[in-house]
Structure formats: C-alpha cells, structure tokens
Amino acid sequence: MPLPASLTDSETLVAPDHWRCVDFISDLHLQAAHADTYAAWVRYMSASEADAIFILGDLFEAWVGDDVLDAAPTAQERVFEQGCQVVLKRAAQRASVYFMRGNRDFLLDQKAAQACSMRLLDDPCCLDFDKQRWLLSHGDELCTADRPYQAFRAMVRGSQWQQDFLARSLQERQGVAREMRAQSEARKTRGEIFFDVDSDLALRWLSQAQAQTLIHGHTHQPAQHALSQQPLRSRWVLSDWDASAQPPRLEVLRLCKDTGLRRLALDAAIKT
C-alpha cells in the first residue's frame, strides 16, 4: 500500500509556545439515543483545561452530510445536532479544537467544521509539540488485513461516490446509515475476526513522517505498543467511549510538557 500523500504534502501542525497540554479522544460514536455518553462528553468538553483538543475520528455514530445541522428530521435529532454544535463552539472559546474524519463521520466537511469552530485535519497528519513530532491518524487505513473494508473505504472516499450519495435526500441517506450500522452490529454478534493495525505499515508511516509516536483510534483496543527499539518508535491506541459499559469506557489521552503522555479516566481528566 502506498504511503498517504498527506505524510509528505500537508503542513505539520506546530504547537504554539504557550501550549502546555493537549488532549486526544476518538470513537465516541455520539448519537441522540445514547444520552449517557453524550452527557459524559459534554462534561469533558466543558471542563477540560487542555490548550487543544484533538478529536481523531468517529465523534459521531454516523454523519450523512453537513445539512443535518439545518434539517434533522426529528425533534430529538435536532436537539442533539444543535447541542453538539453549541458544545463544540463553547469549547473552542477556551481551547483549539481539531477534528480528523473517521470511518463513521468521513462526510463531515468544512461547513460543519466552521459551524462548530473546529479545524479539519488531514489523515494522517503530524503535530510538533514539546520538542517531538507526533503522528496522528484515525487508524482505519492502517488495518490492511481487513480487505473488504479497505475496498469499501476506497469507494466511499471517492469524490464521485460522495457526490452521488449527497445528492440523495436526507431521509434516504439516514436509511443507508441505519442499514450499515445494523450490518456492523450483526458482524459483532457473529464474533467475526478483529482486525488490528499493520505494525510494519505503522513503522513505515512513522519513518516517513520522522515521528517517534503514532496516536490513533478506530480499533477500540486501548493500549501502548512498542514497534521498534532502534530507533525507538511506538503507537498509542485511543479508547472508544461508552458510558453504559461496565465499567464505563470514558478515557482521554493527555500529552503535557511536564508529564508526557498519560491515559486518564474522565473524572481525572476534568479534575480541577
């Protein structure tokens, strides 16, 4: 698989000198029906003292086009969409908020990003912070063993497919999203094989980016993996969020100049 053009062509985000701490989250899969997880996210976005918040994909369970901000078909969905917009805009008044598209919200575009005061990021992209370079990705492109998904990903990321899909009515698009979610849940129920990141490809990305650490989500398997010792390279996997799980999965990855990279439960991440 060729390396993404964004590793060499896009700008590296250079953290301002005043940044002391940045947070990374992903895979919240927010939806109107899951009020507990939404409420936990609102708590976090309202109380995080990070200088920047990086949302590395799948903030939403599904995003079928930026017009959902103006034309959500039910009152519950309108309250949810507008609430998310308000939360993000308020957070952006205190911190820089960055968003990277995931496999569930890859159709979120500039209109929604601007309405929510977020800056869109390429996938992958680099962050220069605390005298190190960090490679950021949602992570799905690295799961190369999942060949059916990679074929699907190539199709839906194409401009023609997106143009045709967005030309359909909002109700039609939401129906397609519901069907795709049902298929995903059915695969989980059947216990189909779990695909993880290809370590060799992750190493190639890090080498190309001249970065030491890859931070990504998508796999819902939070962990720290050593990829090589000489040179030292590793990857940190973000947790998904589910307030209804036992125990709840609500976790933030925090990078600070004085303490380095730490994995924090929600209550610890917003403790004042």
Write down the pLDDT at residue 222.
96
pLDDT in tens, 74-121: 667 778 988 999 999 999 999 999 999 999 999 999 999 999 999 999
The neighbour count for residue 143, using CB atoms within 10 Å, is 20
Write down the pLDDT at residue 192.
65
What is the dihedral angle through the alpha carbons of 224, 225, 231, 232, rounded to the nearest 10 degrees? 20
CA distance 228 to 222: 19
Q: Which single residue is written with the structure tokens 């030491």?
A: 212
Burial class for 221, CB neighbours closer than 10 Å (0-12, 13-18, 19+):
middle
Q: How far is CA 89 from CA 15, 42, 50, 82, 269, in A?
A: 21, 12, 15, 11, 20
Tell me which CATH code domain 6-269 carries: 3.60.21.10
CA distance 173 to 158: 17
- 204: phi then psi, degrees, rounded to nearest 5: -65, -40
Q: CA 37, 40, 44, 45 torsion: positive or negative? A: positive
- Return the SS3 of 22: strand
Per-residue confidence in pLDDT tens, the chain, 272 aa: 666 776 766 578 999 999 999 999 999 999 999 999 999 999 999 999 999 999 999 999 999 999 988 876 666 777 898 899 999 999 999 999 999 999 999 999 999 999 999 999 999 999 999 999 999 999 999 999 999 999 999 999 999 999 999 999 999 999 999 898 888 777 766 666 678 999 999 999 999 999 999 999 999 999 999 999 889 999 999 999 999 999 999 999 999 999 999 999 999 999 74
Helix (H) or strand (E) segment spanning residue 42: helix 35-47
User: Taking Cα atoms as reference points, which of 264, 267, 272, 243 lies closest to residue 22?
Assistant: 264
CA distance 268 to 134: 23
Report residue 192 as tokens: 């189909």
| Every domain of the chain and the residues it spans | 6-269
Write down the pLDDT at residue 8.
66
Which pTM value belongs to this model? 0.94
- What amino acid occupies position 53? I
- What amino acid occupies position 125? C
Task: Evaluate whether 57 touches 118 at the Cβ level (below 8 Å).
Answer: no
Write down the pLDDT at residue 271.
74
Write down the pLDDT at residue 77.
76
Write down the pLDDT at residue 7.
73
Q: Which single residue is written with the structure tokens 């190309």?
A: 208
